[in-house]
């Protein structure tokens, strides 16, 4: 971290403005060397300066605003200068090149945030939240990342760590005095604390399915017989003709995916090949994929043509699906309601059913509202949880939390068996280690590289 890095922080392309950032011990002097608008080396922290930037040969590059942040009061904890220049393909690139010519080095992806982490400006969960925020594709995912960025999740983990440290010192006290036959640590109190920790860890882990849905979206697969109207429904849901609609059964073979944000949540809709026995090899592959897709879905919209009805094979299929634990939420949709206004939708045990005309819904989006309400209902519980407490959105965190929970449970069992104190502390220390890995108190270079390489350059 003893060199000075620079990068364009804004996206490429035509825009009014762009920002080139630089951070490091020489950040201020590097910019000052190519800046004509006052002496930046004398500038106070948090001040902005207008002037021309010139290249190594003294030619004008652009008129810019240079904002100076002095260490340690900057985003990275080092000297930072942010140069606002004009946008477009050329100006930011030329500004960057001037800075590189004057001694800055091109930053690696995420290097600014990595420096902020290493200088204690944020912990690892907050750094990861920055990446999540940049990648967020729905309003709710954005909000959840902000909660992490604000440090609420870190605070929760910190409380847990303190609790565990407390436990450790209680047990260690007992070990120190064990020769004197004194049992200092009150066993009941220990049990209580362990149970509490186990509960908090368990609750946190339970939020992962929510976090995963917020981040990656809810997977809604549209299934049914050929010609039921699946592709028509997909198009109506996403508001444009994404899939080919045709009277010819077996038209959709490859899976077609399209996204839509509903009530702030990202839904990924998947249109599949119609389920039927077929001699056509390509269609058969489509059917095989459709079946696989349904099993991996969060929600299945099972469509059937009201004028045709459900056959016994379909009824069995849906029955099996509600019985087993694939975790798929099936909805039954009787389609082509426009052709069968008086026909009721089939009544299958425990299956939420709805009547619809996908064809009419293409022109009148309001007709989809009852279906959209049911879709948002499937995540309502998750969403209210996400509003009240931080959710785990990250596979890395989930793994460490699970390992911490395992260690705490082992300690709890050890306590029940009356195992000695030093064995107990081993388990407790292991749990502490896992929590420290999440916030970055305990970490190694490989993990950091993996995390920060996900970032954009300039962040």
Ligand X SMILES: Nc1nc2c(ncn2[C@@H]2O[C@H](COP(=O)(O)OP(=O)(O)O)[C@@H](O)[C@H]2O)c(=O)[nH]1
Residues near ligand X (CB under 6 A) are: 224, 226-232, 245-247, 251-252, 274, 335-336, 338-339, 357-359
Closest CA to 388 of 209, 217, 207, 124: 207
Q: Which residue has the tokens 């204690």?
A: 120
Only one of the segments 50-58, 112-120, 230-238, 377-385 lies at the binding site for Mg ion (rule: CB under 5 A); that segment is: 230-238
Helix (H) or strand (E) holding 48: strand 47-54
Cα–Cα distance for residue pair 166/331, rounded to 1 Å:
49
Q: Look up residue 205 and give its two tokens.
A: 């882990």
C-beta of 276 vs 396, nearer to Mg ion = 276
Least distance from Mg ion to the Cβ atom of residue 224, Å? 9
CB contact at 8 A, 252 and 244: yes
C-beta of 6 vs 306, nearer to Mg ion = 306
Q: Residue 194's binding partner, choosing from Mg ion, ligand X, none, with beta-carbon cut-off 5 to 8 A by kind?
A: none
Q: Where do the DSSP E strands lie in 225-273?
A: 256-262, 265-271
C-beta of 211 vs 229, nearer to ligand X = 229
C-beta of 209 vs 249, nearer to Mg ion = 249
Least distance from ligand X to the Cβ atom of residue 339, Å? 5
Q: Residue 336's binding partner, choosing from ligand X, Mg ion, none, with beta-carbon cut-off 5 to 8 A by kind?
A: ligand X
C-beta of 251 vs 433, nearer to ligand X = 251
Q: Give the interface size with Mg ion as a residue count (CB under 5 A).
A: 3
Least distance from ligand X to the Cβ atom of residue 293, Å? 14
Cα–Cα distance for residue pair 399/402, rounded to 1 Å:
5
In which region does residue 47 sit, left (phi positive, over 0), alpha (psi from -120 to 50) or beta (all else)?
beta
- Applying CB under 5 A, among 98, 113, 138, 231 the residue interacting with Mg ion is 231
Cα–Cα distance for residue pair 298/340, rounded to 1 Å:
29
Cα–Cα distance for residue pair 227/370, rounded to 1 Å:
23
- The 251-280 contact track toward Mg ion, x by CB under 5 A, reads -x----------------------------
Q: Residue 357's binding partner, choosing from ligand X, Mg ion, none, with beta-carbon cut-off 5 to 8 A by kind?
A: ligand X
Least distance from Mg ion to the Cβ atom of residue 368, Å? 18
Least distance from ligand X to the Cβ atom of residue 274, Å? 5
Least distance from ligand X to the Cβ atom of residue 263, Å? 24
Only one of the segments 29-37, 195-203, 217-225, 246-254 lies at the binding site for Mg ion (rule: CB under 5 A); that segment is: 246-254
Cα→Cα distances 345→335, 340, 451, Å: 9, 10, 50
Closest CA to 339 of 227, 220, 235: 227
Cβ neighbours for 289, distance < 8 A, ≥ 6 positions apart: 255, 272, 273
Cα–Cα distance for residue pair 146/152, rounded to 1 Å:
9
Helix, strand, or coil (residue 369): helix
C-beta of 48 vs 244, nearer to ligand X = 244
Least distance from ligand X to the Cβ atom of residue 220, Å? 15
CB contact at 8 A, 133 and 113: no
Least distance from Mg ion to the Cβ atom of residue 242, Å? 11
Least distance from ligand X to the Cβ atom of residue 243, Å? 7
Residue 335 as a binder of Mg ion (CB under 5 A): the answer is: no
Residue nearest to Mg ion (CB): 252
C-beta of 105 vs 276, nearer to ligand X = 276
C-beta of 149 vs 234, nearer to Mg ion = 234
Cα→Cα distances 351→300, 318, 324, 340, 347, Å: 11, 9, 14, 21, 8
C-beta of 350 vs 366, nearer to ligand X = 366
Applying CB under 5 A, the residues found at the interface with Mg ion are 230-231, 252
């Amino acid at each position: 971290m003893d060199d000075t890095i620079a990068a364009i922080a804004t996206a490429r392309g035509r825009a009014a403005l762009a920002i080139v950032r630089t951070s490091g011990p020489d950040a201020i002097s590097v910019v000052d060397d190519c800046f004509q608008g006052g002496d930046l080396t004398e500038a106070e922290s948090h001040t902005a300066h207008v002037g021309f930037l010139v290249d190594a040969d003294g030619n004008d590059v652009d008129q810019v605003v240079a904002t100076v942040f002095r260490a340690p009061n900057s985003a990275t904890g080092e000297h930072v200068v942010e140069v606002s220049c004009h946008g477009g393909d050329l100006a930011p690139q030329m500004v960057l090149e001037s800075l590189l010519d004057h001694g800055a080095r091109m930053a690696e992806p995420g290097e600014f945030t990595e420096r902020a982490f290493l200088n204690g400006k944020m912990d690892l969960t907050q750094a990861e939240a920055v990446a999540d925020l940049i990648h967020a594709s729905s309003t709710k995912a954005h909000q959840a990342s902000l909660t992490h960025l604000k440090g609420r999740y870190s605070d929760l983990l910190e409380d847990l760590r303190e609790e565990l440290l407390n436990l450790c010192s209680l047990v260690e006290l007992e070990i120190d005095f064990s020769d004197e036959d004194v049992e200092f640590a009150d066993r009941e109190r220990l049990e209580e604390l362990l149970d509490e920790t186990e509960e908090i860890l368990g609750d946190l882990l339970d939020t992962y399915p929510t976090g995963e849905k917020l981040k990656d979206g809810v997977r809604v697969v549209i299934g049914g017989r050929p010609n039921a109207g699946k592709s028509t429904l997909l198009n109506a849901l996403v508001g444009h003709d994404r899939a080919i609609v045709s009277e010819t059964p077996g038209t959709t073979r490859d899976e077609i995916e399209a996204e839509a944000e509903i009530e702030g949540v990202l839904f990924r809709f998947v249109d599949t090949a119609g389920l039927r026995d077929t001699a056509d090899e390509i269609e058969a592959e489509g059917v095989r994929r459709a079946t696989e897709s349904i099993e991996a879905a969060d929600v299945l919209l099972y469509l059937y043509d009201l004028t045709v009805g459900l056959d016994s094979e379909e009824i069995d299929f849906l029955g099996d699906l509600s019985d087993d634990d694939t975790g798929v939420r099936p909805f039954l949709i009787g389609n082509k309601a426009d052709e069968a206004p008086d026909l009721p939708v089939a009544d299958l045990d425990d299956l939420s059913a709805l009547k619809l005309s996908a064809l009419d819904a293409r022109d009148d989006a309001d007709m989809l509202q009852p279906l959209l309400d049911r879709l948002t209902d499937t995540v309502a519980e998750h969403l209210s949880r996400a509003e009240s407490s931080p959710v785990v959105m990250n596979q890395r965190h989930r793994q460490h939390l699970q390992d911490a929970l395992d260690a705490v449970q082992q300690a709890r069992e050890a306590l029940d068996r009356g195992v000695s104190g030093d064995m107990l502390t081993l388990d407790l220390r292991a749990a502490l280690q896992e929590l420290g890995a999440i916030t970055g108190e305990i970490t190694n270079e490989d993990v950091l590289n993996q995390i920060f390489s996900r970032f954009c350059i300039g962040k």
